[in-house]
């Protein structure tokens, strides 16, 4: 058979790594060219990966939740029915199978077949990959690296290796409790196979998965294996101290690790959260931020929202205050076009944009993202409503593409949905301004000389002072408020 390998591709913008979120196939499944085999999350978005050839899944080389560098092989697929390449199959299969198949490769190197597209067949035999796999298999069975190497060279000692007195490292193998607890941690750096709940259990109990003997199918560590390792670490501390002093440092603090995990939790920063953190730090310490505020009466806009909802011409569209706020921003940009710009640091130039890619900040389970509506200035109110609905739905599903988050010009963030009055938002990198919309609340307000209950909100505009000075920023913010206070200006100012 022929084993073809599918590598983690660069899914866009030169990103160097991606996290495997979900596998849609398992070993033994048949796949076809173009079939989606997994979903990965980059620093920008979640992306589904199709496989470019037909075959049967031979092995998944990484588990869900693992971050993989671009160019690393993530799945191996059998694409032929030939029988002339046992060594290639063994190189990707389970380590135990590798130890048996390696001698066959050494005995008949001329029978090798190409494994990767674009690579020829080498007449020279190599035992590097089988030896590495054999070490992984031997370590999981309590065999020292030297014995594993000899197991590859001579197949006869493979079966008795764990108990043979001569070829096996003397200290780690002699006492029974030592092998599962301490020896594997010293002999291999391979990542043990275990499901996420089992990994969490091991972390909570302070157990190193590399020091656990797996009993599950395919060498997978089970919950019972973790509990057994924890019991062994507590009930037999003397054996560990006597035979393997080095691992004691990792095994002894187990009770403290449990206590610490109950008091605090560490969450790895990766994917969208990682790139958002980097972008916000870069923006905060690169662009000189200025924030201005305005509080005003939006009662007329709220009445217009209700009227538009009842309009049969807009039936089926999502009509809400954010839609009219977005339209007001577009009108204000038309009246103050210089706010729609970016700063070119290399050329020391201000780049005026004659288009508006309106960003809408969206909170998703994977973190904050800012997709934008391309050419929002050309859209009618119904078209803008449709674009907003599609943008929000795609973001919530985690399907926003990297292209949807590029080349934004100005952003709106609606903190009012959380009951917040306003804030001082940080600019999305490369953009000139960001508008924070506060909660719309019924408050006492002077209207036509009398104090009445009115719908009131506060807007906060942060802008890059290199691009927008105080006068321009103030006019722009005042125009947005004027449109929302008297929405007829959506017509008269357009």
List the domain range (segments joined by +) for residue 228: 169-266
Q: How far apart are CA 98 and CA 73, in angstroms?
A: 18
Tell me if residue 447 is catalytic: no
Residue 124 CA: distances (Å) to CA of 108, 112, 118, 121:
10, 10, 18, 9
| Residue 334 burial class via C-beta count within 10 angstroms: exposed 0-12, middle 13-18, buried 19 and up | middle
- Report which of 112, 151, 124 is spatially closest to residue 2, judged by C-alpha positions: 112
Q: Do residues 192 and 294 both lie within one domain?
A: no
DSSP string of 202-246, one letter each residue: HHHHT--GGGS---SGGGEEPHHHHHHHHHHHHH-HHHHHHH-ST
Question: Is residue 190 a part of any domain in this protein?
Answer: yes
Q: Are 432 and 467 in contact (CB under 8 A)?
A: yes
Q: How far apart are CA 406 and CA 273, in angstroms?
A: 17
Q: How far apart are CA 151 and CA 335, in angstroms?
A: 79
Q: Do residues 357 and 415 both lie within one domain?
A: yes
Low-confidence ranges of the chain (pLDDT < 70): 11-15, 43-44, 81-190, 232-261, 271-273, 275
Q: Which of 221, 243, 266 is at the close of a domain?
A: 266
Q: What is the largest CA-CA distance in the chain?
A: 101
Which residues 6+ apart lie within 8 Å of 101 measured at CB? 86, 87, 89, 90, 93, 130
pTM summary value: 0.54
- Report which of 253, 217, 494 is spatially closest to residue 379, judged by C-alpha positions: 494
- Please pick, among 58, 447, 465, 486, the residue that the annotation labels catalytic: 465
Q: Which residue has the tokens 């009993």?
A: 215
Q: Do residues 462 and 389 both lie within one domain?
A: yes
Q: Do residues 258 and 326 both lie within one domain?
A: no
Q: Do residues 419 and 447 both lie within one domain?
A: yes
Q: Tell me, what DSSP letter sits at residue 390?
A: H
The predicted structure's pLDDT at residue 155: 44
Structural domain count of the chain: 2
Beta bridge partners of 413: 436
For residue 163, the tally of other CB atoms under 10 A from its CB is 10
Three-state secondary structure call for residue 12: coil
Rg of the chain (C-alpha set): 31
Q: Do residues 365 and 459 both lie within one domain?
A: yes
The predicted structure's pLDDT at residue 233: 63
The predicted structure's pLDDT at residue 14: 60
Q: What angle do CA 479, 482, 488 make, to 5 degrees?
A: 115
The predicted structure's pLDDT at residue 221: 84
Q: Do residues 240 and 387 both lie within one domain?
A: no
Q: Which of 266, 282, 313 is at the close of a domain?
A: 266
Q: How far apart are CA 155 and CA 101, in angstroms?
A: 9
Q: How far apart are CA 45 and CA 404, in angstroms?
A: 10
Q: Do residues 383 and 298 both lie within one domain?
A: yes
The predicted structure's pLDDT at residue 212: 84
Beta bridge partners of 386: none
Question: Is residue 320 a part of any domain in this protein?
Answer: yes
Q: Do residues 215 and 312 both lie within one domain?
A: no
- Whole-number mean pLDDT of the chain? 76
The predicted structure's pLDDT at residue 115: 43
Q: Do residues 436 and 379 both lie within one domain?
A: yes
Q: How far apart are CA 38 and CA 51, in angstroms?
A: 9
């Amino acid at each position: 058979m022929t084993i073809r390998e599918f590598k983690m591709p660069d899914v866009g913008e030169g990103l160097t790594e991606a996290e495997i979120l979900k596998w849609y196939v398992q070993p033994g499944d048949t796949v076809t060219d173009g079939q989606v085999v997994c979903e990965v999350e980059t620093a920008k978005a979640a992306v589904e990966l199709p496989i470019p050839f037909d075959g049967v899944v031979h092995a998944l080389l990484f588990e869900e939740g693992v971050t993989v560098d671009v160019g690393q092989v993530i799945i191996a697929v059998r694409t032929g029915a030939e029988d002339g390449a046992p060594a290639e199959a063994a190189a990707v299969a389970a380590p135990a199978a590798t130890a048996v198949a390696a001698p066959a490769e050494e005995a008949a190197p001329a029978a090798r077949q190409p494994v990767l597209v674009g690579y020829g067949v080498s007449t020279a035999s190599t035992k590097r990959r089988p030896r590495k796999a054999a070490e992984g298999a031997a370590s999981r069975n309590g065999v020292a690296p030297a014995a594993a190497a000899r197991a590859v060279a001579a197949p006869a000692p493979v079966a008795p290796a764990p108990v043979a007195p001569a070829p096996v490292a003397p200290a780690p193998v002699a006492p029974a409790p030592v092998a599962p607890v301490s020896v594997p941690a010293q002999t291999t750096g391979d990542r043990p196979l275990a499901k996420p709940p089992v990994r969490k259990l091991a972390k909570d109990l302070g157990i190193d998965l590399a020091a656990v003997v797996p009993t599950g199918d395919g060498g997978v560590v089970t919950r019972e294996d973790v509990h057994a390792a924890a019991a062994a670490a507590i009930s037999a501390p003397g054996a560990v101290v006597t035979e393997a002093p080095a691992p004691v440092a990792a095994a002894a603090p187990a009770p403290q690790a449990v206590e610490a995990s109950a008091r605090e939790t560490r969450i790895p920063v990766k994917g969208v959260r990682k790139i958002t953190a980097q972008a916000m730090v870069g923006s905060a310490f690169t662009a000189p931020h200025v924030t201005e505020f305005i509080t005003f009466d939006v009662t007329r806009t709220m009445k217009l929202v209700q009227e538009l909802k009842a309009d049969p011409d807009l039936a089926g569209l999502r009509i809400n205050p954010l839609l009219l706020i977005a339209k007001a921003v577009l009108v204000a940009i038309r009246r103050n076009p210089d706010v729609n710009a970016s700063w070119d640091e290399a050329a020391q130039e201000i780049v005026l944009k004659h288009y508006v890619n309106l960003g809408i900040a969206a909170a998703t389970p994977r973190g904050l993202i800012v997709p934008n509506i391309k050419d929002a200035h050309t859209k009618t109110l119904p078209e803008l409503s449709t674009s907003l609905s599609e943008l929000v739905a795609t973001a919530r599903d985690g399907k926003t593409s990297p292209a949807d988050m590029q080349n934004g010009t100005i952003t709106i963030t609606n903190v009012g949905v959380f009951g917040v009055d306003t804030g001082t938002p940080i600019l999305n990198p490369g953009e000139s301004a960001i508008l924070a919309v506060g909660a719309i609340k019924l408050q006492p307000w002077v209207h036509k000389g009398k104090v009445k209950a009115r719908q009131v909100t506060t807007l906060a505009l942060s802008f890059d002072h290199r691009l927008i000075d105080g006068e321009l920023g103030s006019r722009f913010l005042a125009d947005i408020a004027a449109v929302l206070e008297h929405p007829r200006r959506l017509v008269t100012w357009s």
